[in-house]
Structure 1
Amino acid sequence: MTELFIDGGRTLLGRDIAETSLQIADGVIADIGSDAPHGALGLDASDLLALPGIVDLHGDAFERQLMPRPGVDFPVDVALIDSDRQAIANGITTVFHGATWSWEPGLRGAENARKLLDAIETLRPKLASDTRFHLRQETFNLEAEDEILGWLKAGRIDLLAFNDHMDIAGISRPAKRARMVERTGLTSEAFDQLVERVLSRTDEVPASIARLAKVANAAGVPTLSHDDASPAMRDDFRKLGVNIAEFPINEETAKAAAAAGDFIVFGAPNVVRGGSHTGWTKASDMIAKGLCSVLASDYYYPAQLLAAFRLVQDGILSLPQAWALISSAPAKAAGLTDRGEIADGRRADLLLVDDSIALRPRIVAVIVQGKLVHLTDAARLQPARAMSRKAIAAA
């Protein structure tokens, strides 16, 4: 693997930012502050920020590549490759594709979940971002339990979330119901009959959740609960070993999660847009109150990068604090101890970012496991020995 040398970047080191150099070898950060080794490729990072790569725990924007218009499908491999390009261009070096397996047919049905998992496993070596599978299990999807248990035991699932979108009040809203019917491809009458059949097994849902959580815990797979509506609901999931609260819908529930030491995930688009598109919790308020530990791309890959700089611009957090929400904290929540920070021996997932225009950070270079996978300014790449200011000064 070719050695890289990053020279002169304003580098995020723990809670501080300092101008230094980074030596990368064998996919990891080999040294900080050294001169360039002989034969390394150099990246001139002067006037740029050098930051750890973004870790995205929850992103389903790839669904737009699978089905850009209702009823218009594209091959899963094509969708994944295009999504990988988008993720990398926005600084996401570790991506968990959030695939929903629902009781619904269509885009979020069994066939697409299986196809996506197979495609991720097949394409993973060819994708630039470290690509992982986040299964979002609809808890009323009882018929899928045995197969999901098999996937967990076989090590095929990287994150498991418990979703419950069987909300009769929500489904009865005309706009939401229309979207769901359109997504399934069913007639209106067939959709109503399906909902009735699914609801007839409501009493079986809690035991299914408990069985899945138990096997996930035994397999070392982190688990999340989605849209927790109350402290009691969060407590019930925590008792099952589900320690990541994903999008709690009110402050009371977020406070309960924080008090118990749970990871709390909100959507980065919420920060960028100034509020939730559903009208629920405002993420920037939760962050200011210490009630958010992770920001995810949710449905828009550029959002994590933009949100971090928005939080800084709005005076809510410092850059090191904001960046932790999209790098070190999600890595820790996912059990990935080898990344998320710039330190000796850590995996070399790094970004060079031009922050000269407020609120519009620009990705200049992306490095994944020591490999340069994205570069927008070729003039910055040159033989390292010739560009090392320390070496020139020493001479």
Structure 2
Amino acid sequence: MAAFLIEGATVLLPDRLAQVSLRIENGVIAALDGPRGDAQVIDARGMILAPALVDIHGDAFERQLMPRPGVMFDTEAALLETDRQLAANGIATAYHALTLSWEPGLRSVAIGREVVQALAALAPRLTVENRVQLRWETFCFEALPLIDMALAGPLLPALAFNDHTTMGLLHPSCPLQTRPFDHDPALPVVDMDSPAFAAKMDSRAKRSGMKVADFIALMRKMWQRRPEVPSVIAEAGARARAAGSPMLSHDDSQPETRDFYRGHGARISEFPMNLAVIEAAREAGDWIVLGAPNAARGGSHLGSPGAAEMVAAGLCDILASDYYYPAMLAAVARLQADGVGRLPELWKLVSTNPAAALGLADRGEIALGRRADLVLVDWPEGHAPVIRHCLVGGRAAYGAIAAG
């Protein structure tokens, strides 16, 4: 790969913004303000040069697979389109939150296997690094062979412990954000024969391609296996630890929940649902992930803690795209505009910190020897930023030239 030099940009270094040139050789950052030599020069005047984004949890790819309930598209085509969306939003490393559930349809193990296999086959054609977060529904016992297969693959996945079965069966009198520990035997459970529960399950049944009554019957059958879940969690955790996979727990509602999953090796708390859990995670030294849409919109659509408030208080380390890829850049812009922090610190929420939490020591900041995963951002003062170029390992993944 020929050497090239990026000149004229305002460069986002780990601790400051500076006017320096960047020399890229063989896909890595070779020099800061080094000699030009025979390198090709890229004129980046007027733009910000920053580390490319690292997305720890994004499930917007599901909308390419199933743009409408029950309407599935070809897996390869959906993933190729997703890859282009990632590059256009400056995301050079993406962990697709691939739900592995006992539900048929979009979130089934069969579709999960298709996605894992398709990403491996498509790797030479993809523009960014597409990994998976195995968002494992803990009642889905049949997912363990797929988890093993993914853990043995060329790009190590993350494993997220997810329990939407218990959440779905929670009695409506109990607030979701403060529900008891998922394995509490006294957890209040909804009446599965009630019309209200059938209405609540309608969208999940459609996503699964099932009639509501059949979906509820299947859910009831899974719930009867609840006593088996803790031992299967322990088994999955042991396999992930053996592979060196980073682990997360999803939607923690009690410090006890966070303690439980930390005990199995999950040192990342993903979308904790209340301040008590967040403070417990911080005290234990866990990574805390909140949603970039929460920060970009100015609050959570579920009533969980506000990301901006948590960032300001030092209680959020990472912002994930969640369901909307553009939210990562939009969140940084909103937080900076609102005076929550300085840009070098805010950018770490979407680059340096997720890379560190996921064990990716070769990327996430602009420093000598780091992989040249970089973005050039067009960001006029007082206006929304947009990605103009995205480099992955020094290779052009995305480039756009404005009409003006």
C-alpha distance after superposition, 1:256-308 (max 9, x if no partner): 00111101111100111111122222111111111110101001010001101
Q: Which of structures 1 and 2 has the larger relative contact order (alpha carbons within 8 angstroms, sep 6+)?
A: 1
Identity of aligned residues (%): 47
Which residue of 1 is the match for residue 151 of structure 2? 152
Superposed counterparts of 1:186-205, under 5 Å: 186-205=210-229
Secondary structure of 1:20's aligned partner: coil
Secondary structure of 1:329's aligned partner: helix
Secondary structure of 2:102's aligned partner: coil
C-alpha distance after superposition, 1:83-140 (max 9, x if no partner): 1111111110111111101010010011110000001111112111111111100001
CA pair 311-173 structure 1, distance change in 2 beyond 3 A: farther
Which residue of 2 is the match for residue 95 of structure 1? 94
CA-CA distance at 1:192 after TM superposition: 1.2
Which residue of 2 is the match for residue 211 of structure 1? 235
Distance in 1 separating the partners of 2:383 and 2:197: 36
Which residue of 2 is the match for residue 390 of structure 1? none
Which residue of 1 is the match for residue 27 of structure 2? 27
Distance in 1 separating the partners of 2:366 and 2:377: 15
Distance in 2 separating the partners of 1:15 and 1:156: 30
**AA partner of residue 280 (structure 1):** S
C-alpha distance after superposition, 1:348-375 (max 9, x if no partner): 0011111114351011111110112222
* TM-score normalised by the chain length of structure 1: 0.92
Q: Does 1:220 align with 2:244?
A: yes
Q: Does 1:270 align with 2:294?
A: yes
Q: Say which of 301, 315, 319 aligns to 1:291.
A: 315
Unaligned runs of 5+ in 1: 380-395
* TM-score normalised by the chain length of structure 2: 0.90
Distance in 2 separating the partners of 1:359 and 1:266: 24
Secondary structure of 1:224's aligned partner: strand
Which residue of 2 is the match for residue 12 of structure 1? 12
CA pair 359-261 structure 1, distance change in 2 beyond 3 A: farther
Q: Does 1:244 align with 2:268?
A: yes
Secondary structure of 2:114's aligned partner: helix
Question: Is contact 2:57–2:95 with CA below 8 Å preserved after alignment?
Answer: yes
Question: Is contact 1:21–1:35 with CA below 8 Å preserved after alignment?
Answer: no
Secondary structure of 2:21's aligned partner: strand
Distance in 1 separating the partners of 2:334 and 2:383: 6
Distance in 1 separating the partners of 2:215 and 2:97: 24
CA pair 226-46 structure 1, distance change in 2 beyond 3 A: same
C-alpha distance after superposition, 1:313-368 (max 9, x if no partner): 11111101110000000000110000001011100001111111435101111111
Superposed counterparts of 1:82-121, under 5 Å: 82-121=81-120
- Report runs of 4+ in structure 1 exceeding 3 Å deviation: 153-157, 170-176
C-alpha distance after superposition, 1:11-48 (max 9, x if no partner): 1111111001000010000111123231x332211121
CA pair 317-174 structure 1, distance change in 2 beyond 3 A: farther
Question: Is contact 2:5–2:40 with CA below 8 Å preserved after alignment?
Answer: yes
CA-CA distance at 1:176 after TM superposition: 4.0
Secondary structure of 1:68's aligned partner: coil
Secondary structure of 2:160's aligned partner: strand
**AA partner of residue 342 (structure 1):** I
Q: Does 1:3 align with 2:27?
A: no
